[in-house]
Amino acid sequence: MNPGMAAALFQIQQVSVTMAGKPLCNDLDLTLRAGERLAILGPNGSGKTSLLHTLMGLQKPRTGQISINAQNIAALSAATLAKQVGLLFQSAQDEMPATVLETILLGRLPHQHSWSAMSELDWKQVECAVTNMELSEFLNRDVCELSGGERQRVAIAALLAQSPQVFLLDEPSNHLDISFQIKAMQVLSEIVLSEQRALIMATHDINLAARFCDRILLLMGNGRYCEGRTCEVLTESLLSAAFCFDIQKISHQGHDFFFPAGFSSQANRT
């Protein structure tokens, strides 16, 4: 390995994921180094969420292995894994009542023993997460009565409180307004870069991925995939092929932006 490069933090070797017999990705090889951010893009049902769940150890890959800090995650207990890897779910389930603060405190669960009280570090992480997601006014509200975007901020705050080495995010911008989409990614990016952690996010927002991620994993929807640096993968031709839709690029102030074209179709004129 090139000594100038950061150490491999998260390694995916020959991993295949299937759902109901359908291959989602075949023989995926991917190494994430400290400080790297990867976006997973792909059409509906292409396996973004399944892959994230597999990386979190919630489902077993059909073949291959995943390791963090050179340890196979299949050999780690769920509790040990949760100290190092954290997952933001696509949506939260709130059948039972709980306040915002209680929900964020749960992020510290992997770091606590059954009978221990909250440590100074626990409080520091929680306060930091609350400040970053601007939730100090909400702490005693019930999570059931929050708006979708506010609930998403609570979930992100809980993940920040968990403070894992590898952040796995399933559509982090879900329900968030534009400013919080950017703020949340800025906070996460800053932690990943300054503390040499790593981030993998599944998203439908190509421009968010282009702005915040160093690398892209593009799932084609048939088991094949494309992986590489952001500028290599985010091209009109590759994206159009993956989504089966004409996707075009415009440049503004040195940044590339992608948008769905096809303005001349019948539906637009009616």
Residues that bind other proteins (CB under 8 A): 53, 56, 58, 77-83, 86-87, 89, 92-99, 101-103, 106-107, 109-110, 112, 114-115, 118, 123, 126-127, 130-131, 136, 139, 142, 144-145, 162
If the CB atoms of residues 18 and 240 are measured against other proteins, the closer one turns out to be: 18
If the CB atoms of residues 170 and 214 are measured against other proteins, the closer one turns out to be: 170
CB atoms within 10 A of CB 62: 13
Distance from chain centroid for Cα 224: 20
- Min dist CB 128 to other proteins, Å, is 9
- Min dist CB 164 to other proteins, Å, is 10
In terms of Cα–Cα distance, which of 109, 97, 99 is closest to 130? Answer: 99
DSSP string over 57-79: TSS--SEEEEEETTEEGGGS-HH
If the CB atoms of residues 144 and 244 are measured against other proteins, the closer one turns out to be: 144
- Min dist CB 142 to other proteins, Å, is 5
If the CB atoms of residues 75 and 78 are measured against other proteins, the closer one turns out to be: 78
Sequence-separated (6 or more) residues with CB below 8 Å from residue 21: none
If the CB atoms of residues 2 and 77 are measured against other proteins, the closer one turns out to be: 77
- Min dist CB 70 to other proteins, Å, is 20
CB atoms within 10 A of CB 43: 17
- Min dist CB 24 to other proteins, Å, is 18
CA-angle at 46, arms to 240 and 156, nearest 5°: 105
